Each structure stands twice: as structure tokens, then as C-alpha cells.
Amino acid sequence: MDAGRESFSIRLRVDFTGAWAYEPLYVAGPVRLSLRLAGHTPGLEEYDERRGNYLNFPTPDGNCPVIEATICERGGRVGIPLGALARPDGVHDVTLDFSPPRWAIQVDGLRDEDYPPAPADIAWQDGPLRGEVLSARVQSCCCPLAVEARKKASGQQQEGGLRQGEDSRRITRSIQYWTPDDPDAWVGDVALGSWRGRLHVFYLFDRRHHGSGGGTGRHFFAHLSSANLISWHEHPPAVSIGEWWETIGTGTPFVHDGRLHLAYGLHTDRLPKDPSLPIGATYASSDDGIHFRKSGRIIHPTQNPTIYNRTDGLLGLAAGYAGTCGLWTSDHIGDWQPYDSDIPVLGDCPCPFEWNGHHYILQGFNGFAHSATGLPGTWEDWAAAALAPYDGLSVPMVAPFGENRRILAGWLKYTDGLWGGWLVFRELVWNGDGTLGTKWVPEIAPPSPPETFEARLGRQLRVVFQHDGGYGPALTFAFDPAERTASFADDVPDTRWSALDSADNIRIGNLPEFAEGCTVRIVRHWDAKADATIFDAEIGGVRTLICRRKGRFGKGTAEQVWIQSRCCRITSTGKRTINELV
């Protein structure tokens, strides 16, 4: 077997009992397997705390041992913290898989994988790959298995844990604030579409907060769906990585010729330059809504393509990446004709949608445009007018579902501003003048019950959440019916407001007028995987606001503060929100 080109698996049985210090276990050519104590290796402190997320999985003794395998310096470190296992001690089966371009470790159903940026990064030896056991902890070893044996041994597993041919796996926990099972796996950009009565959710599967592949991201499109927004299923990846040069950019699902398609981009310029490699917009197609096949066609220069179904029956394409901003149309997939370059929304990941005859474009992080007709030259910049329905989520996208409903989903940014985080759902609220609000989706129950507070006219509602650890500032939710503003912010003087997608200190305005006050519901959910608390507010059933903080917080304490009558308008400049008393 030529190890530089072929797939192989290495299967070992390893005793984890008493693992507390660095110990090499096995070596085979460039492959190294070892146990080490996370947080105690010079040079890997940031990786252990954030990228690998090892330190949030301590064993009962408080330590964070991890079994880890490397195959090269860049994009070649994979590991499982023993504290994430149902039983962290005793003997376990450990599988190392190399299926070019993927390098993976699997223990007890948990998986970590990475993608070396180029084949030359792996220093393969000549001849067969031979292994050597270095520790008595390794009770057995089968190395290496040829590609046919590898498929038998692993059950033909794909990334994400689903077997080839296995259509779906029931999700048994709440889909709100959901992340994949693996310790270092998170949700990136989300794309929604409805097809044959199901809501399909595609998201960029993220590991290491954009740190895989030597920092290139190496994302692929994972896939969830539901017929009723209550029961959810996880499917095999819709678009996986099959070549060393592939790294997937954000796209959208669309329907054409009775099939479900998924547009996506190839961010080939993130890897070593090679003009012979494809770059730009492409797509995959499915006959059943589950199994997708790549088209192999480049259909537009943009690397984050948005293809959508227009109300006139044509396909639309919206682009805002690498100087390819604007709208195009076509009656088939390709040969795009310019439609409108005069739109106020420029940037990554646009989401055009229509509702009740009005046309909208959400753009990635803070852009929002409206048109009463959707005709060229009629778009208004509603982000500049502070009419955007952003509430703290990154890259929200919208899809129709059911009887004239619009469902929105995006990702809540991880603490420390790292890329990737939690999946969050909203339902849009239609206002009679075409402006939009957001509310919690009635069918999607959060993993923690909400606390309920009553806001009264003439008073500002303040809810203060104290940090359980006794360090760091408290978090305050404030809602002022007179100002028509709401915010989450650290309870400190001279608050500095953050970007609309930051989920940090965030303030929104232009809330509806409430003639008799309203009910405010706040979910406070601690996620052990991140050691972070998510705070999610719904105001009067018409606006939402979300943020997160590191650590665990207690129940909210409410107070009603008398305020003088005044009004406030909120304007937006770039990614900053400016509050001006009038």
C-alpha cells in the first residue's frame, strides 16, 4: 500500500485508567498517538482552551486528559478529551482514519477530524506503513488496514458520524441553541429552504472556530430537517470535502426542475495558489432531499453564492463577495443575466426573500434592504434607518414554511468573538407597514424554561443576572417602552455598544409601541460544552434579543425604574449602533 495515496485505518484498544501525564502510545510513519494533559503543554494553551475545547471536559478529578493523534504540523492534530466520554477510564476502542484528504480519530462515537492543507504537508515514508506500540496501555493494534478493510471496519462511516446509506438520525435534544455532538464542533453559516413539506437546514460544519486546515476553515455543509419544527433529524453531509483543495463557502438551497439543489462556493484562494483549480460558485443536486451529488460546474465568480427562487418563476442570484455584488437572473442554472447592481446591501452571504408582496435582502451581519416591488432601483436601505430585524445573530437567513410563515435561523457567536457557535431559530413577525419583527418559534421549545417579567408603561424594566462564580460584572437586560429600546449589557458604567452580530453588549430600537405594557420572557441557558450562558429575550411576542457570556449565571432579579417621558431614535453607521436622544 502506498501510504501517500491510499486510505487506511489503525484500530487500537487502549486503557485510559490513570491517564494524567504525557505518554506516547503508538507511532507509524508520520502518525503519532499519545495521551497528554490539556492545559499543561507549552505552545498549546490557546488550542486546549478554545480551538480543541478540551478544558471544558474535565474528568472527575478536575484534570483534562486527552487522547490525541497528529499526522503533520498544519491541519493534522485531532483529539478527544476523556472527560467527554460516558466512561473516561477503562479500555476503549480507538480508531484512526486517513481517507484523503481527511484525518480523523474516533472514540466511543465521538469524532474529531481535520484536513491538511496540501498533500506535501505530510511526510510519508517509502514503502508500507509500519507501526510500533510504545506503551503497555495499548492492549491490541491492527495497523494498517487497507482501504477495503478500512471500509468494513468503520462501517463506511462519513464525517458527522452517520453511516453511508443511513438517511437520518433523530435529534433527541432541543434544536434551539443546538451544536453537533463532538466536543470541538460548532455551527457556522446557516442556509434554509422548504421542499416537499419539510424545512431543510444546511449549515457550515465548523471545528476549532475556523481553525481547521491550518486556519483555512475547511468547512462542509451539514444537513438537518423537520416536517413540523418539533421533530428534527440529522442527515449525512449535503456537501462534503472530497479533495485536498476544497473548502466550502456559504450558499443557499433552491428548487429547479423538481429537484432540490444547494448552491455553495469554493474558497480555493485560501489554499496554495494553483490556477488550474476551480474557484467560485457551484452547486449540488438531490432527487430525494437527502443525498446530494456535486455538479462539478462553476456557474459564477462569487465564492458565497445565493441562488433563490423568484416569484416570477426565474432563478435569482445575489452576490456580495470579492467584487461581484449585485442581482442576476436566469431561467436555468447558469448564464446569469445582470438584473440590478444598484442595491444598498453589499457584502457576504445575502438572503433575498419575499413576504406578502414585499421584497427584502438580509446581508450577513448588519445589512438590510427593502423594496415594495423588487424592481431594479427601488431598494431602500432599512439598516441605515434602524429597521433591520437583527437581534444578535450572525448571518441570519429566511425561508418560507407552512401557511404564509417565514422562519429565520442564524448562529450565535461563541464567546471571545470566535467564529462559529450555536444554532438559533426565530419566526418573523409581519407588521402592517412592511417592517418586520421576530419572535420565538412556538414549536421549538428551548432547553431551559424561560423566566417571565411584566414591563409597565412609564417604567424601565431592568433584569439583573449575577455571575455564579462571583467574578466579572453582572449582566443587565433593560427594556424601555418609552424609548422603544431593549438591550443586554454588562452592568458597568459607560457601556460601549457592540456590533449587531456580536452577541455582546447589544442594543436594538424602534420596537413597537405597547399601549398597556407587555410581557418579557428570558431564557437563561448554561451550556457545559462551552461553559457559557445564553440569554435570549422575547419582548411582547414581536422582538427578540440574544447574547452570551462566559460562565454560569443565576436567576434574574427584576426592578421597575421610573423614567421621564422622552423618545429616542437609533441610527446605524456601519457595524455600530448610535443612540440619539431627541
Q: How far apart are CA 218 and CA 467, in angstroms?
A: 36
Q: Is 50 exceeded by the pLDDT of residue 166?
A: yes
Q: Is 90 exceeded by the pLDDT of residue 185?
A: yes
Which helix (H) or strand (E) segment is 45 a member of? helix 45-46
Q: How far apart are CA 397 and CA 96, in angstroms?
A: 37
pTM of the model: 0.93
Mean pLDDT over residues 125-134, rounded? 85
478: β partners: 462, 487
Strand 380-381 versus strand 367-371 pairing type: antiparallel
- 427 phi/psi in degrees, rounded to 5: -115, 135
Q: Give every CB contact of residue 2 below 8 A, 6+ residues apart in sequence.
A: none
* Alpha carbon 323 to its chain's center: 25
pLDDT of residue 140: 93
pLDDT of residue 125: 80
Q: Is 60 exceeded by the pLDDT of residue 41?
A: yes
Q: How far apart are CA 575 and CA 497, in angstroms?
A: 10
pLDDT of residue 119: 83
Q: How far apart are CA 310 and CA 316, in angstroms?
A: 6
Domains and CATH numbers, the chain: 8-154 (2.60.120), 169-439 (2.115.10.20), 450-581 (2.60.120)
Mean pLDDT over residues 338-355, rounded? 90
Q: Is 60 exceeded by the pLDDT of residue 573?
A: no
48: left (phi over 0), alpha (psi -120 to 50) or beta: alpha
pLDDT of residue 24: 97
Neighbours of 554 (CB within 10 A): 13
pLDDT of residue 144: 66
- With cut-offs at 50, 70 and 90, classify the pLDDT of residue 469: confident
C-alpha cell at 191: 442556509
Mean pLDDT over residues 199-228, rounded? 96
- With cut-offs at 50, 70 and 90, classify the pLDDT of residue 92: very high
If you average pLDDT over every residue of the chain, what do you get?
Answer: 90
Tally: H helices and E strands in the chain: 3, 43
pLDDT of residue 149: 40
CA distances from 226 to 150, 170, 229, 233 (A): 33, 10, 5, 6
CA distances from 427 to 222, 423, 443, 451 (A): 22, 14, 10, 20
Q: Is 70 exceeded by the pLDDT of residue 145?
A: no
506: β partners: 488
Mean pLDDT over residues 90-98, rounded? 96
Residue whose C-alpha is closest to residue 510's, from 538, 548, 480: 480
